[in-house]
Amino acid sequence: MRERGEMVGPLRPQFVLFGSSIVQQSFSNEGWGAILADLYARKADILLRGYSGWNSRRALQVLDQVFPKDAAIQPSLVIVYFGGNDSVLPHPSGLGPHVPLPEYIENMRKIALHLKSLSEKTRIIFLSAPPVSEEQICETFSLKLGELRRKNESCRIYSEACLELCREMDIKAIDLWSAIQKRDDWLTASFT
């Protein structure tokens, strides 16, 4: 007879998705998180730690709580995405999600070092900043936000910085900036 609170079946590897809205919304509309959960059903537990609107600065503030070094079970895989909000152009008020590029790089380095220290078995994949549909952003938010603050050029710069850091630290990375734009219809098919 099973004790109360005892897990059914063997322990499974944990895959943690950690990032901003691309992670938070990854289980919606048959998104990539939902696809991972389906592909790894009965093989791994997919844990969602997505926080819409967050940047790398905010991620550092909760890193120890999301990934405690003394946890009994450490994740087998962590997929990390920050950069899209960091790359938003600075607002004149100083408010908003923008993080200057040098700070973004250092924040991502700290996140990587923390994750590497969890276990020698923990694998890490970083996702770079994707492109954006500037036209769609203008249509959707122009009256609310005024001047367009999310630009493709800025996303490209942050994407390249993330990929360079990953090469330097020997971390696997997925170049979302380039991958999404390989589709001919990326401007209309890739965004919600």
Q: Active site residue: 20, 21, 56, 154, which one?
A: 21
Q: Is residue 27 part of a domain?
A: yes
What CATH number did the domain enclosing 122 receive? 3.40.50.1110
Looking at residue 2, what is its pLDDT? 47
Looking at residue 182, what is its pLDDT? 86
Q: Is residue 116 part of a domain?
A: yes
The number of distinct structural domains making up the chain is 1
Q: Mean of the pLDDT values across residues 69-86?
A: 94
Q: Is residue 80 part of a domain?
A: yes
Q: Is residue 142 part of a domain?
A: no
| Among 16-30, 78-92, 123-137, the least confident range | 123-137
Q: Is residue 167 part of a domain?
A: yes
Q: Is residue 8 part of a domain?
A: no
Q: Is residue 72 part of a domain?
A: yes
Q: Is the pLDDT of residue 5 over 60?
A: no
Q: Is 154 among the catalytic positions? A: no
Q: Is the pLDDT of residue 176 over 70?
A: yes
pTM of the model: 0.86
Higher per-residue pLDDT: 14 or 51: 14
Q: Is residue 1 part of a domain?
A: no
Looking at residue 21, what is its pLDDT? 85
**Average confidence score pLDDT of the chain:** 86
Q: Which of 116, 82, 74, 111 is nearest to 99 (CA)?
A: 82
| Among 33-47, 93-107, 144-158, 167-181, the least confident range | 144-158
d(CA 1, CA 37): 29
pLDDT in tens, 54-63: 999 999 999 9
- Cβ proximity of 54 and 115 under 8 Å: no
Whole-Å CA distances, 104 to 58, 70, 99: 11, 26, 6
Q: Mean of the pLDDT values across residues 47-70?
A: 92
**Structural domain span for residue 160:** 14-137+148-188
Virtual torsion, Cα 164, 165, 170, 176, nearest 10 deg: -60
